Amino acid sequence: MENTRYHRIKHVLDRRQTDLTVCLEDVHKHHNLSAIVRSADAVGCHNVHAVWPQNQKWLTNNTSGGSKNWIATHLHKDINSAVAMMRQHNPQVQILATNLCPDAVDYREIDYTLPTAIIVGQEKTGISPQALAHADKNIIIPMQGMAQSLNVSVAAALILFEAQNQRLQAGLYERTMLDESIKHKMLFEGCHPIIAQKCKEKSQPYPALDENGEIIADDEFWHKLKHA
Ligand SMILES: C[S@@+](CC[C@H](N)C(=O)[O-])C[C@H]1O[C@@H](n2cnc3c(N)ncnc32)[C@H](O)[C@@H]1O
């Protein structure tokens, strides 16, 4: 891999797993949201879903360490609409509910090479009955100590990294899944943020990039960007 920003971003986007996602059900502490988004980015998720009050601000760059810019976040009013969109993205998706109940399956027994959505629950109350009703399986991280549960971001990270491990072994990071138009948009905004902003202000589509991430555009484009 060549070591320019363009090539680093491209390498990351080429490995995105659009069929692995996490859904945060009413998780509300910002340090937890931020940690889960970072873990999702780290294992190569493209989409993160969250049930989130519509009048409240979602993560800022400060809290997510910038990971939020590389993840497509979908905010939902309730778990039903979150699950509906996850199924719309991938009708084959297996919905896994993290649930601290005796008959839940050990999370390491799951096949994460399948299209997968992992629902994690609220810090205090845990996962809701509505979420459980959508679940194909309940999963648990076995614990041997006195604490009854893990921090939600720790639980999400353990499961996501098990998914990464299985997917690495299966070679799933070698296939490119992300739509070319989304990749182009993210590459353009990542490599040329000021010009991207100007294009948005002038309602101009982003021009093409060459194999080194340089903009390919004619004089007319630059003229329109400056004067239109
Ligand atoms: C702090 S726990 C909630 C505890 C809550 N009292 C309950 O009974 O679910 C917050 C979330 O973290 C996840 N979690 C924590 N520990 C877990 C474990 N051992 N296995 C699976 N998920 C876990 C679940 O998503 C849970 O809803």
Look up residue 97 and give its two tokens. Answer: 């509910």
Is pLDDT at 61 greater than 80 in this prediction?
A: no
**Residue 108 in contact with ligand 1 by CB distance below 6 A:** no
Q: Are strands 20-25 and 47-51 parallel, antiparallel or unpaired?
A: parallel
Q: How many whole angstroms from 72 Cα to the centroid of ligand 1?
A: 24
Going from the C-alpha of 11 to that of each of 44, 94, 163, 175, the distances in angstroms are: 11, 27, 19, 12
**Residue 121 in contact with ligand 1 by CB distance below 6 A:** yes
Q: How many whole angstroms from 150 Cα to the centroid of ligand 1?
A: 6
Looking at the chain, the whole-number percentage of residues with pLDDT higher than 90 is: 88
Tell me the residue type at 195: I
Q: What is the mean pLDDT of residues 125-139?
A: 97
3-class DSSP state for residue 119?
strand
Residue 28 DSSP code:
-
Closest atom of ligand 1 to 127 CA is 27
More confident site: 63 or 138: 138
Q: Report the alpha-carbon angle 103-160-11, nearest 5.
A: 160
Q: Ligand 1: which residue has its CA nearest to atom 13?
A: 152
Look up residue 201 and give its two tokens. Answer: 């202000």
Is pLDDT at 63 greater than 80 in this prediction?
A: no
pTM for the full predicted model: 0.94
Q: What is the mean pLDDT of residues 31-58?
A: 93
Is pLDDT at 60 greater than 80 in this prediction?
A: no
**Residue 150 in contact with ligand 1 by CB distance below 6 A:** yes
Q: What is the mean pLDDT of residues 85-101?
A: 97
User: What is the structure's pLDDT at 62?
Assistant: 58
Beta bridge partners of 72: 47
Is pLDDT at 184 greater than 80 in this prediction?
A: yes
**Residue 149 in contact with ligand 1 by CB distance below 6 A:** yes
Q: What is the mean pLDDT of residues 103-122?
A: 98
Is pLDDT at 81 greater than 60 in this prediction?
A: yes
Is pLDDT at 113 greater than 70 in this prediction?
A: yes
Q: Ligand 1: which residue has its CA nearest to atom 25?
A: 120
Cα(70)–Cα(8) distance, rounded to whole angstroms? 13
**Residue 140 in contact with ligand 1 by CB distance below 6 A:** yes
User: What is the structure's pLDDT at 1?
Assistant: 61
pLDDT tens string 193-216:
999 999 999 899 999 999 999 999
Tell me the residue type at 211: E
